[in-house]
Amino acid sequence: MSDSPGEAILALEDGRTFRGRSFGAPGECCGELVFNTSLCGYQEILTDPSYAGQIVTMTYPHIGNYGVNRHDVESRRIQAVALVVREACSVPSNWQSEMTLPEYLRQNGIVGLDGVDTRAITRHIREAGAMKAAISTLGRSEKEVVEMARNWPGLVGRDMVQYVTRSEPETWPSPENPRFRVVVYDFGVKNSILRFLADSGCQITVVPAYTPAEDVLAQKPDGVLLSNGPGDPAGLTRIIPEVRKLIGQVPLFGICLGVQVLALALGGKTFKLKFGHRGGNHPVQDLTTGRIEITSQNHGFCVDIESLPKDELEITHLNLIDRTLEGFRHRRLPIFAVQFHPEGGPGPYDATHLFQRFASMMTQGTPA
């Protein structure tokens, strides 16, 4: 049960509505309604900048049972616009817990909705696709909330990175004797990615998403990482030309939105998935080794495999559920990228070896 009762309405742009209980901050919000299949990791999910502009529905029914702490965050604040669950736990049990999930949402001004049939929501999204939605806890009629959802501009064609990127360069804590100097483009980078880079022996400078390529190359980095982030990659018209200038100048590693930006910079195209890939249990095959890895994913857009220049790029990873692209590498240049999250956070660590692959690529200066 929620510890803050009060009726709330979730409405979708197609007119479907769900009534439940408010368990976060009172108010209203709009976003793209998506679902995540992870069994845990709700704090990392909420603070992942890739969820900017999205209302997250958790398919696992009981959320909040181990509370919230100051360590399991992926950014400075909650990034999702709202959280929808079957049952929010207000009495957590964990030695690290510092507050309840309802308290966490209220402190951050984030709307939460529980007491709804999240299975029905998920099945509807799978059949109709991810769509615009709105939540209100302020007593509006269902018709009014549906209109709120319909009037929201959506994510397609929009630059959502501007809402999550840093405004100034930042130095991330590095190991005592770093082997490499890496510049990370912050499209919405997760803390877990930066931690794994540091553990791989990297001295890290995180730069805003719109930093000119010339400024990055002036730092003489051993490599550049293009991070995860939210929204439609085709809307990043200020970023793609700068990434294009880096190609052939420095080793490049792209993660999630980073693979999409790289693909566009290399002449490829992207498209919107029907309901996206979000969760910690997505099987991906590494075509270079034959190995199947269970991966953490969070994306609503994807690279069109047929659009990639085959003479320059080799497909390295495929999603085993829908055969969509999960990774590629350049045939001549030190460039590779993956659609999934090798750092987990939350999720399995099957693919953390890719950070060492990046280190090897920086050492050798050859394709991964």
The catalytic residue positions are 256, 341, 343
Token code pair at residue 70: 């100051």
Cβ 9 vs Cβ 19: under 8 Å: yes
Distances (CA, A) of 284 to 190, 270, 304, 319, 350: 21, 19, 17, 5, 10
Only one residue has tokens 């991070």, namely 227
Angle in degrees, 0-180, between the axes of helices 191-199 and 353-364, rounded to the nearest 10: 60
The b-or-e profile of 89-105 (16+ CB within 10 A means b, else e) is bbebeeeeeeebbbbbb
Q: Alpha-carbon dihedral of residues 76, 296, 234, 225, nearest 10 degrees?
A: 70
Q: What is the DSSP string of 67-131?
A: -B-SSS-SSSS--SSEEE-SEE-SS---TT--B-HHHHHHHTT-EEEESS-HHHHHHHHHHH-SE
Region at 154 (left for phi over 0; alpha for psi -120 to 50; beta for the rest): left
Q: What are phi and psi of 167, to 5 degrees?
A: -95, -20
Cβ 84 vs Cβ 116: under 8 Å: yes
Three-state secondary structure call for residue 309: coil
Please name which of 76, 75, 80, 49 lies closest in space to residue 63, comparing C-alpha atoms.
80
Alpha carbons 243 and 185: distance in angstroms, whole number? 10
